[in-house]
Chain A
Amino acid sequence: MVELTALQKLSAFLDPSSSVAGVDQQNAARIGERGADREAFLRAAEKPEDERKAIINRLAAKYHKEAGFEETEIGNAVDEFVRNIPSEFETTEQPETPQQLPQDQGVIGSLLNKLTERNEPNIAGRAKGQATDAVHSLQEQQFLEEFNDALEQGDQTKIVELIKNAETHKLLDQQLQLAHQHLDLLNPDELRLARLDGTTTDKEGKTITKVDNMRDEFTTQALKQAEKRKKQEERELTPAEKDAKAKQEAKEARLQAIAMDTNIKDPNRRSAAFHALLQERLAQTRPYSIFAEYYDQDLDGMLVPLSQLIQNQAQVRHRMALRQRQGVQQAVNQQSNLQNAAINAVQKIKGSKSRKGGLGSLLKGQLKKQLLSKFKKELIRKGLAWAFLSPPFVGEIVVGIILLIIIIAVIVIILFTLFSPQGSQEQQPSLQPTCTPENTCEQQLRDNGVSVRGDLSLNGDPYGKAKLVYDTLALITQSPSKFGTLLGIPAKPITLYFSGSACTGHASANGLVILSGFGACGTSVARFMLIHELSHEIAFRNPGLYNSFLNQFPRSSLTLPTYNCQFDYGVGPYPAECFADTLGEYPVYKTYRNIVGGRPSYFEHVFSSFITSFNPFYTFAKNNVYGGLEF
């Protein structure tokens, strides 16, 4: 009898069809109960070393009695497995697969080869599957290499052939079909591309599908664009053009580096970079040329945002078309109204002329010239007052027109100023960085339109809350922030009332803000509470700004991981709370994320990802409220 090692015994136990000599075959009957462990054993070689050790250790500990070795030998089995995989399972013969396994299959490839060599049907089947996958992977690599070569050589026939045969790029078909739906909205060229319906035959009489046809068309377009680009590149560029091009390329390279950097763990960052890159490219080219550019990269996951981008572009163009149509309609109507007005006016003038020979005759021919000439001379000689008071009346009309236009302009400006939906432009609050001495904070706040009521003491400081409010307001209203202007202080007063101990807040449309437990939960929380509630006041006083927020962040896309945005009022997200949290987090995001009882859960306790993962919210606050001021 051959003396088996612990690992061999374990292998034989978990793999009953093994031909290793000396194994008690009765174990074979029990193997069905241990399918999962057997699977784990066979796949252990694929795992990283630590995980591999853990698996073998567990299996050896569990089955050492049944496999016939001592508990003390478990460690040996583990060491041996880790150490002996290459020699134990390696074979010099190649498996019966369509193609040699790629090198990166490594240990698992060797293991599967060995198992296949044993001619065990079930294991060989899995090995074949693995090998097929590997071959597909290899084919894909080959495809990409050939595609790149063909693209460089401008071999259109080869490219079309490659694309048609690229069975592994099924996602492209889906994306192309999706693009097809939206391309219906695009320009005539793209419409032509999109309307290649049904099946047709190529030059050789072979039936090709719509998608094939689109691919041909798409490839043709891409190549045309490539040629055009090449010609443009060959042209001598001016220094300014070279500089602009270099900057653009550097910018795109940075974005692409981020998008393709698999070491970056935050997918949102990569996605954002990829979107930004596409936007840059889209600004220069048509969508299908971008498609062409990225098709030769293994970016299946990124084709989804690309498709969304195409969709968005289509929608934007469609909306522009609708607006144009409405604009044309309005222009037609306005033109019609103007014509009617002109006809009415002419008819009135004609009526006047027929009765008294009025303006119609007076403004014609030589008389008109004489009158204007006389008026001009008199105006110069005697000034406007004379012209206004003296005949002929032409001078009066001219001066009257000027005065009337000025008066109307002034009235329109006043009306627009008073009734602007964005709120009137009030005087900016003027707050120093801090208030000293502290007992003047209350008065200084009042001077800026903010009254503080209730218990002002905080942590033994009798004016602590007033000072905290002052410092916070001074921080967020400093130039160039528009926070104070949007809030409307000092013209539209705010009253802050401090009560209770729980850290809650409430804002009313009449300017009353109740803050409970202000400062009791820490400075960051207090600042957030105050800014959050004041942001409600901004919404009350600037409905257009709130509507802009809704336009940019419809309810279904509100995703700030803050309690008020997601849970307040029950189920959330509620736009007004998300609006207030957007403005509230902006100055404090580096130190505080608004959560209650750990909700909503998120990977970071502070909110440092606000500026990256939630950049549109950050940018909204920065541009629309804080005037570019950063904290």
Chain B
Amino acid sequence: MKKVFVLTLIFLVILTITMSVVFRGNQPVSLPNALPTPTPVGPPHVDFSKINYSKVFPDQQAAQEVLSTLQVASESSQIDDYTVVPFQTDIDQRQNLVYEKNNTAQYVVQEKTSDNTDLMVFLASHPGSQSFQMFDSIHAGSGFSWYIFPQDGVGFLANKDFGYALKVLYFPKTTKENFIQTAAKTFQLLQDDPNSENVQESFPENP
């Protein structure tokens, strides 16, 4: 009977490993050590290969996971004193953005174009993380707002009921106050909900 127990245990271990491999679709893909180098398309405002991401991604695995989505860059633009480099996603006109200054990435905005539970996953893996909510007027009335984790350097534009994210913002780890003074202004995030009770959609008189 002891043999039975041992063999069953071995089987369960193998099954668990197999299942984890099968269902690892949403897990980070481990990539080669070298970070991918996006291919520039537009005018060479930025030397893509020289951008230093260590400020935004102190964790190498996180950097690899996000940067693996940055495949082809299009023409960059200037916002405040940042050079903003858009990178193509699998959806036209939804682009990941790298906010770069002095060859150092200051912010990375990743678009989430498919179904996910990224906020839920993050909360599960960071149980003690402190967060606060901010609002994005562009997505007012959609149920999505920003959940910022300043001490983790990450924020999610997400629907909290589902943990579903539209965008993920990566930034240098900071305090809530500093985030509000810096990144929130850059991305025009609001502390008050623009979709609050005193804002109503208008409808016309009967034509």
Do the beta carbons of B10 and A503 come within 8 Å of each other? no
Instruction: Tell whether, in the assembled complex, residue A569 and residue B164 are in contact, meaning their CB atoms are under 8 Å apart.
Output: no
Q: Which of A348, A544, A546, A564 contacts B10 (CB 8 A)?
A: A348
Q: Is the CB of A525 within 8 A of B203?
A: yes
Cβ A421 vs Cβ B141 within 8 A: no
Residues from chain A with a CB closer than 8 A to the CB of B8 are 396-397, 400
**Which of A344, A421, A514 has the most chain B CB within a 10 Å cutoff?**
A421
Q: Are A564 and B91 in contact (CB-based, < 8 A)?
A: no
Which of chain B's residues have a CB closer than 8 A to the CB of A396? 4, 8
The reply on A20 being an interface residue by CB < 8 A is no
A503-B4 CB under 8 A given contacts A322-B90, A575-B142 = no
Given contacts A326-B29, A397-B8, contact A319 B90 (CB under 8 A): yes
Contact B14 A551 (CB under 8 A): no
Bound complex: CA A377 to CA B36 (Å): 59
CA distance A594 to B113 in the complex (A): 29
Task: Decide: B10 and A539 in contact? CB cutoff 8 A.
Answer: no
Contact call B91/A503, Cβ cutoff below 8 A: no
Within 8 A of B (CB), among A387-415: 393, 396-397, 400-401, 404, 408
In the complex, the answer to whether A330 meets B203 with C-beta atoms within 8 Å is no
- Partner among B88, B112, B197 whose Cβ is within 8 Å of the Cβ of A506: B197
B14 touches A345 (CB 8 A): yes
Chain A: CB-nearest residue to B164: A543
The stretch of A134-142, A159-167, A199-207, A334-342 in contact with B is A334-342
Q: How far is the CA of A546 from the CA of B138 in the complex (A)?
A: 13
Chain A min CB distance to B108 (Å)? 18
Contact assessment for B143 and A543 in the assembled complex, using a CB-CB cutoff below 8 Å = yes
Known A521-B206, A597-B204; judge A539-B11 contact (CB<8 A).
no
> Do A393 and B112 touch (CB < 8 A)?
no
B126 CB within 8 Å of chain A: no
A interface footprint on B187-207 (CB within 8 Å = 1, 0 otherwise): 000000010010111111111
Give chain A residues whose Cβ lies under 8 Å from the Cβ of B88. Answer: 319
Question: Which of chain B's residues have a CB closer than 8 A to the CB of A594?
Answer: 203-204
Cβ of B68 under 8 Å from chain A: yes
A464 CB to nearest B CB, Å: 15
Task: Check A504/B200 contact, CB under 8 A, given A334-B24, A554-B92, A574-B141.
Answer: yes
A522 at the A/B interface (Cβ < 8 Å)? yes
Contact between chains at A341 and B18 (CB < 8 Å)? yes
Are A596 and B203 neighbours in the complex by a CB distance under 8 Å? yes
B-contact bits for A496-524, CB 8 A (1 contact / 0 none): 00000001111111000010110001101
Query: On chain B, which size bracket covers the interface?
Result: 35 or more
Q: What's the minimum C-beta distance from A396 to chain B, rounded to whole angstroms?
A: 6
Complex interface: chain A residues within 8 A of B203 (CB): 503-505, 517, 521, 525, 528-529, 532, 563, 594, 596
Interface: B79 (CB within 8 A): no
A341-B14, A421-B115, A550-B94 given as contacts; is B141 within 8 A of A503 (CB)?
no
Say yes or no: A505 contacts B142, CB within 8 Å. no
What 0/1 readout, one digit per residue, does chain B (122-156) give for beta carbons within 8 Å of chain A?
00000000000000011111111000000000000
A442 interface residue per 8 A CB criterion: no
Task: Enumerate chain A residues within 8 angstroms of B6, measured Cβ to Cβ.
Answer: 352, 358
Alpha-carbon separation in the docked complex, A397 to B6 (Å): 11
User: Whole-angstrom distance from the CB of A346 to the nearest CB of chain B?
Assistant: 10
Name the residue of chain B whose CB is nearest to the CB of A553: B93
Query: Are B204's CB and A393's CB within 8 A?
Result: no
Answer yes or no: A99 CB below 8 A from chain B CBs: no
| Complex partner residue of A563 from B90, B204, B207, CB under 8 angstroms | B204
Chain A residues with CB under 8 Å of chain B are 312, 315, 318-319, 322-323, 326, 329-330, 333-334, 337-338, 341, 344-345, 348-349, 352, 356, 358-359, 393, 396-397, 400-401, 404, 408, 419, 421-423, 503-509, 514, 516-517, 521-522, 524-525, 528-529, 532-533, 536, 539-541, 543-544, 546-547, 550-551, 554-557, 563-564, 568-569, 574-577, 579-580, 592, 594-597, 605-606
